[in-house]
Structures are given as C-alpha cells and as structure tokens.
Structure 1
C-alpha cells in the first residue's frame, strides 16, 4: 500500500527564493521555448524532496526531468503540469507522485501553486513564498516565478484568472 509523505514547504520556498532571479545550472532554461515558469516550479517541488514519478501509463501521468531530451511535458508546461498534479492521485489511485487539490484563495499555504488560466487552460505557474497578514486577516500572498522572473511579488498585482492548487504531499 502506498504511503502519503509530507510536502516540505520550507524547502520548496527556500529553493524558490534562491533561484527566483537566476537559473540553476543543473537544469535547462526554457525561456527561449515560450517560458521557464513551470520548469522552475517543478524544480521547487523536487527540491522539497518529492521524487520523480516514472510510474504512470503515459507522459501526462509521469513527472521527471533528467535532461532536455529526457523529460516529461508535465515538468515544463503549465497545462500538462496541472493535469498531472490534479489528476495523478486520488484516494483509489495506484499511481505515485504528487498529490494535490484545487482550493480557494484563502486556503493557500507556503509552497502552494497558483496558475494563470485563459479559456480554461493554464499558461503560467507560480509558487506562494509568503503570506501577508494583518493580525489574523489575510491581505495578500507573495509569489516567485520565472518567465519575467519575480521574487516575493504581490499576487494581487498579477492580472488574469487564477487557479489555486494545494500540494497535499506525495506518494512514494
């Protein structure tokens, strides 16, 4: 039986802040192919100790990056990434890897994911790196992203329809 492992939010946020304004030379930079945002977010999740998922039946049910030539679209493209992390695991699934769910704005935590969406499809991916409170009242979140690299930028200043994704953990 598979076991749900805890998502290390602190490690994901640390990595996000460290590489928000530059590029980790261990990975390719996909800016020249239309954007590096989801590649960067995948790196953040991997830095939190989530292992590669090589188990799925096809590339949309797997998540890994070994090289530019040996990677899944779920690692580097916003909509396939969404389909993977939302469709990958349900309670009755035998699949491994990231387990997440769609949540409301006020349910986000550090290390959770926000996507910009147009006509129902994701085109940009960001990570929550700070929660701005006034006492117990939520004011805003800060995000980090690649493709127009930003570090601790107010989410409220990002225009467009948003999708909020909570990372629950991962099965391994």
Structure 2
C-alpha cells in the first residue's frame, strides 16, 4: 500500500513570501489572462515537495507546468485546481500526486490554501503564511497571493465567500 509523503509547509511558505510581490522569471505570468493567483500557488506547493502529476486519465486529472505551452489547466486556473487537488486522491486509491481535502477554518496551518468562490466555483487562490494567535485562541491568518500581489495580508480583510483546503501530502509510486 502506498504511503503518504510529507508536504514541506515551511518551504512552500518561504517561496510564497519570496515571490509574493514579484514574479519568478522561470514561470509564465498569467496576470493578463485572467490572473496569476493559481499559477503562483502551484509554484508554492511544488516547492513544498509536491511532485508534478502526469498520471491522470485526462488533462484535468494531471497537474504540471513545463512551459507556457506544456501545462495543465489545473496548474493555473482556480476551479480546475480545486477539483484536481480535492478529487485527486482518496485513501486506498492508486492515484498519484497531491492529497488534499476541504477543511474547517480553525484547522488551517501554514501552507494550506484559501479560495474565494462565487456560485460554488473558485475564482481566486491564496496561501496561508502565518497563523495569528491571541494567547491560545486563533485570531486570524496571514495570506500571500498574486493577482494584485499581497504579502502577509490578513485573511479577515478579504471579502467574499471562502473555501479552505488542507494539504495532507502526496502519494508517489
């Protein structure tokens, strides 16, 4: 039986902070094509030790970026990304790649994701970069994002309906 491998939350967050206010020139910038937020988030979680997934049956069941012309919609579009990461792996399957699930607000950690949704579809993706506690109580989270770039911005100030995603790790062969 496959074992789940660890997601490197610290590396994902370090990358998020490094590139929050600019763009890594190794990747295309999709700011002019509907937004760069999910492309940026995919880069973050890739640096967090999540390998490319070339195994799925169709392009929406894979996740990779080799070039602007050789990438999946799941890498750079918010709703396909959500469907991929939450539907890709279930315990006991033979799938490969990221393993994530929907989460409650109070169970998020650094490296987990938040999406803004409208009519049930994701249109924006952010990464948790800090958990803010007031004593032992959760007070807020800080997030980084692209498509108007923000570094360590309070999640409580983000408008709109939110969806929370916990990254549990990944499966490898």
Structure 1 distance, partners of 2:23, 2:99, is 26
Structure 2 distance, partners of 1:106, 1:42, is 23
Structure 1 distance, partners of 2:119, 2:93, is 29
- The reply on whether 1:79 has 2:84 as its aligned counterpart is no
SS in 1 for 2:159: coil
Q: In structure 2, what is the equivalent of residue 14 of structure 1?
A: 14
CA positional deviation for 1:49: 1.5
Give the gaps of 5 or more residues in structure 2.
none
Q: In structure 1, what is the equivalent of residue 143 of structure 2?
A: 143
Q: In structure 2, what is the equivalent of residue 166 of structure 1?
A: 166
1:95-147 CA-to-partner distances (Å, cap 9, x unmatched) read: 10000010110000000000000000000000000011011010000000000
CA positional deviation for 1:80: 0.3
- The reply on whether 1:52 has 2:52 as its aligned counterpart is yes
Structure 2 distance, partners of 1:132, 1:49, is 25
Q: In structure 1, what is the equivalent of residue 33 of structure 2?
A: 33
CA positional deviation for 1:92: 2.6
CA RMSD of aligned residues (A): 0.6
Q: In structure 2, what is the equivalent of residue 96 of structure 1?
A: 96
Structure 2 distance, partners of 1:3, 1:92, is 10
TM-score, with structure 2 as normaliser: 0.98
TM-score, with structure 1 as normaliser: 0.99
- The reply on whether 1:132 has 2:132 as its aligned counterpart is yes
Which segments of structure 1 move beyond 3 Å, counting only runs of 4 or more? none
Structure 2 distance, partners of 1:58, 1:85, is 14
Structure 1 distance, partners of 2:42, 2:59, is 15
Structure 2 distance, partners of 1:49, 1:63, is 14
SS in 1 for 2:56: coil
Structure 1 distance, partners of 2:64, 2:151, is 25
